[in-house]
Amino acid sequence: MSHTHVRAELRENLAIMAVLSILAVSLGVDLFLDLGRRTSVFHALIEGAAIVAAALGVVLGARRLRMAVREAQDLRDQARTLLSTLDDTRREAERWRRDASAVVAGLGIAIEQQFERWELSAAEKEIALLLLKGLGHKEIAELRNVSETTVRQQARNVYRKGGLSGRHDLAAFFLEDLLAPRPASTVGSSNPSRRSA
């Protein structure tokens, strides 16, 4: 239920309770005056029943009003909680962006340094980066406006200079340590000759 709807319900309940209260008081005064004039018992019973019904309506209205007030308070509490959660999520997202940007920048620097150690040419560095991004030979050729044969040759040079067996080995060289830790049984089984300091 929306905040506006709860406010409308509160006003409606207050109006109904006011009308029923006026009705109960009016009937009570009328009954009191009628009893002084020796009215019939039947008439007194009817007015008494109307007074009880009006008073019961006021009690039920007060109960509904209390429920509506509680519901309004619950909505306010939920809104505060949602705002707090949203603020926490925004702060966490910002923290993640800051942390990730440092990692990504650090990874970029580390990749560039490794390319330097492998003594890759500028074209080979570009080919290696595009391969790491997942592009195929044909896509790289179109992007660089060279033949696919040229891209394949430059990729082979990257693999040879890095002591790698191919595209998957290139990706694993840089990404392997970023993923979850390897089980203890495979820790000593990687090819340490691939890694150069």
**pLDDT digits over 98-138, tens only?**
888 877 788 888 899 999 999 999 999 999 999 999 999 99
The yes-or-no verdict on residue 79 having pLDDT over 70 is yes
Q: What is the DSSP letter of 179?
A: S
pLDDT in tens, 143-191: 999 999 999 999 999 999 999 999 999 999 988 766 666 566 555 554 5
Give the DSSP letter string of 186-197. Answer: HHTTS-TTT---
pLDDT of 91 reads 93
CATH classification code of 119-187: 1.10.10.10
**Beta-carbon neighbour count of residue 194 at 10 Å?**
14
pLDDT of 110 reads 87
Whole-model pTM?
A: 0.44
Q: What is the DSSP letter of 136?
A: -
pLDDT in tens, 12-26: 878 888 888 888 888
Give the DSSP letter string of 3-47. Answer: HHHHHHHHHHHHHHHHHHHHHHHHHHHHHHHHHHTT--HHHHHHH
